[in-house]
Amino acid sequence: MRVPLIAGNWKMNATVGEAAELVREMLGALNRIDNVEKVVCPPFISLTAVAEIIKGSSVKLGAQNMHFEDRGAYTGEISPLMLAGLCQFVIIGHSERRQYFNETDGIINKKVKAALKAGIEPILCIGEKLEENEAGRMAAVVSRQLELALADIDNLNGTIIAYEPIWAIGTGRSATGQQANETIGLIRQRITNLYGKEAASSIRILYGGSVTADNIADIIKQTDIDGALVGGASLKAEQFISIVRQTAENSGS
Ligand code: 13P
């Protein structure tokens, strides 16, 4: 039995004051929705303020990134030790980090390992570009990203996968529920090959890319999809609450 998870990736949006306001706006309604794990991922600078506000509620906290070293001369970076105890989740390998900050599969692998070591559940993002999709290379690209990110990891220990096709991120062009379900089924099959049936049936795999209150029902009713990583729509309290509510009502996994 996989508990569905909806995570809001706020990306580089909201000042500390705005972040506090946004989470306050959502908190009461989110707290009343059961059977869905609800996670907000504000920018680093707002993590402590948001943690304070959600304390004692069922809403959980995630970071959007982290370095893989525990400490050292890495100006501007945040370490797993700094996040442990504050965040339960961390997004790793988002396509925007791969694209704009040159994160390689090797770096992402180190970050997944570091998160697991620190007791933080990584939300590992994978997904193909438009041209890879059009060239029929989706399965090969996604499988390769998965294998490299999980290299030398024996136990998945709560790792979450987010399938985010790059052509669907911020474009308003979401994959259909059926499309996303097929790819996520394929990812689950790869997990079976790598870690066995039990691991594959318990790991949560999310979809991300232009998820809104209008398309979440079609996505979440699919058998292999266990939730969503939501970008733009997670910045609007009403939209995010509606996405979480519809997940509670329609979850198919
Ligand atoms: P959008 O929901 O804005 O398309 O962003 C998706 C995403 O990148 C979540 O991590």
pLDDT of residue 107: 98
Closest ligand 1 atom to residue 168 Cα is 4
Tell me the mean pLDDT in the region 89-97. Answer: 98
Tell me the mean pLDDT in the region 132-136. Answer: 95
Q: How many angstroms separate the CA atoms of 220 and 177, rounded?
A: 8
Q: What are phi and psi of 210, to 5 degrees?
A: 60, 35
Q: Is 94 a catalytic residue?
A: yes
Q: How many angstroms separate the CA atoms of 38 and 241, rounded?
A: 10
Is the CB of residue 175 below 6 angstroms from any atom belonging to ligand 1? no
| pLDDT tens track for 194-219 | 999 999 999 999 999 999 999 999 99
Contacts of 190 (CB under 8 A, 6+ apart): 142, 143, 146, 147
Distance 37 CA to ligand 1 centre (A): 18
pLDDT of residue 140: 96
Is the pLDDT confidence value at 253 over 80?
A: no
Q: How many angstroms separate the CA atoms of 28 and 32, rounded?
A: 7
Q: State which H helix or E strand residue 80 sits in.
A: helix 80-83
Q: How many angstroms separate the CA atoms of 192 and 197, rounded?
A: 5
Distance 13 CA to ligand 1 centre (A): 12
pLDDT band at 252 (very low <50, low <70, confident <90, very high): low
Q: Is 164 a catalytic residue?
A: yes
Is the CB of residue 239 below 6 angstroms from any atom belonging to ligand 1? no
pLDDT band at 251 (very low <50, low <70, confident <90, very high): confident
